[in-house]
Structure 1
Amino acid sequence: MLPTHRPRRNRKSQVIRDMVQETRLTTHDFIYPVFLIEGQNQKLEVKSMPGVYRYSADRIIDEIGAAVDLGINSFAPFPAINDSLKDRLARESTNLNGLYLKAVADIKRQFPDVAIMTDVAMDPYSSDGHDGVVDVDSGEILNDASLEVLGQMALAQARAGADIIGPSDMMDGRVAWIREVLDSNGFSNVSIMSYTAKYASAFYGPFRDALDSAPKKGDKKSYQMNPANRLEALRELALDEAEGADMVMIKPALSYLDIIREVKNHTNLPVTAYNVSGEYALVRAAALNGWVDGERTMMEVLMSIKRAGADAILTYFAKDAAEVLRRG
């Protein structure tokens, strides 16, 4: 007997395929991470991330302008801080005249309508390379002592003009702590996008190359999540919701599509996902070697993250994907 049900009828032409398409990407889905370095007129490629650059504060303005022209309006800057400015309490993180906060203020001044999401974690500024305060005797990452530093960091970023604070440190209780600090200082309208489920992943290597922020001793497994755990993400979600997060994030994205879907099924908050440096590097390297079609693979990766449930995607592919979407 010949088949009565023929799903292929909905695939028979491009017009029909477009009509019934379930998931769509737009430039509104993208948050573009950009790297800042000291100096003037600097644009240096990250060797482990071909096509991604570190920009001095004057050149980052041009890069953001080019992205805005492509329809990208959300940005996440990350700083590479000189070692001479690093200490165990990350004091440079609150310097309003330092690289990061001055650049955030300059970006908001020149592009007042874009959304700037800042990063709250000690590792770019820490002489220890960890996201929290390190006990000098035991090497333990001190959760509660770290909250004090993170709260002041978030406050300084809000004063510089941040629209969204992104605590990526994975210290317990930091969302509630930061919310209280912001609210009590008149920044109740500044959002918190919590890194709710940030896994201790091998995919972060190129990012740490870009910022020279790898831990000097030990690793981050005592505060970042075990890649084997799924239900733990729901516990973190419940805590972040209770503490006042406005949005939640899963990091990495591509190897954690199941976690994105699990979290999406359990919250009414917007869910974001970070298509991290190692995921970018894998696709880019394979494309440069001719092993995959780079453009198609890029768009398939991003579509899979959106299909899994992400409302927004932090991705180094943002500009390239926007070019593809512009062509239609």
Structure 2
Amino acid sequence: MKDPRTTIAVLNIDLEDDLLGSYWIGYRKGYLLSVEGPAELDGYDETASDLERLEDLLVLLQARETPRKRRDLKDREKRIQQLSEDMAAHQAKLKNFDPEAYVYDKSLKASDAWLKSRRYPASQPFTPQAAYAAGLVNGWVRAEYEQTPEILGQLTTQQKRTAATQTRELQKQGRVPRPRPTRGSSVPKERRTFVYLMACEGVEPVKIGVALSPRQRALALQTGSPGKIAVVWQQEGTRALENAIHRELDEYRVRGEWFDLTSLGDPVEVVRKTAKRLEAQFRKAGHLSQYFYEDDE
């Protein structure tokens, strides 16, 4: 579904009062799905988190000193093989989280239900599930219109003003989420992430990641880990900062978010100084708010 206008005809429907609740719940879900992406789909966050944990465990097992006993070696190889298979299954599952395909499927179901409900005699009533689907498509379409200037290009000035007025009214009613602040000091404390450095006892590579709670991430990884896990450094920062640090240290990457920094000295000092250097660089360029929870000067 490259152009959301292909589904807009689904939305031109009249609903009974008892279906409006389902419709607006779907509308809000569709709006958030467009703005937030596949994370709004049930199961996406859990699958992505599980995949990250599996990859972390794989790195730790591979980096751990080779067992001397043949039985222990076989057990480790078997565990590594199982982790690799589980990772492949999770990667395949993540590919199924396609917001556009999800919305398109909902649009077909809502359209089909609407047509069946309008026949005489009606073959089936328009259900709350169908109203939810129609609302979801409508919310997604509106958010796509708001976010994509080239789609808005074909609307007249009056149509744009009308759409903006309707959106503000819906926001007042709580049916459309207000845009969440994503940069700078306006991001609420509870939604701020931390870039962190995680180390495992007996393993040289360290992990440079990002999470709302690095401590919880470490606890989740501890189960199944060959050694004690600890967060040895953390700083408030966005995923963009994590990616920037990854790029700076890319030649030392072992796999994914794991890096072998032993040749550079103390990993904590290496990452801390890298973050500090990037902060000065982004501040000078006027892009600080993309990477840290500070406003651009």
Q: Give the TM interval when normalised to the shorter protein.
A: under 0.3
TM (norm. structure 1) is 0.22
- Structure with a larger share of its residues in strand: 1
Q: Give the number of the structure with larger relative contact order, counting CA–CA contacts within 8 Å between residues 6 or more apart.
A: 2
Q: Which of the two has higher C-alpha Rg? A: 2
Question: Which structure shows the bigger proportion of residues in helix conformation?
Answer: 2
Question: Normalized against structure 2, the TM-score is what?
Answer: 0.24
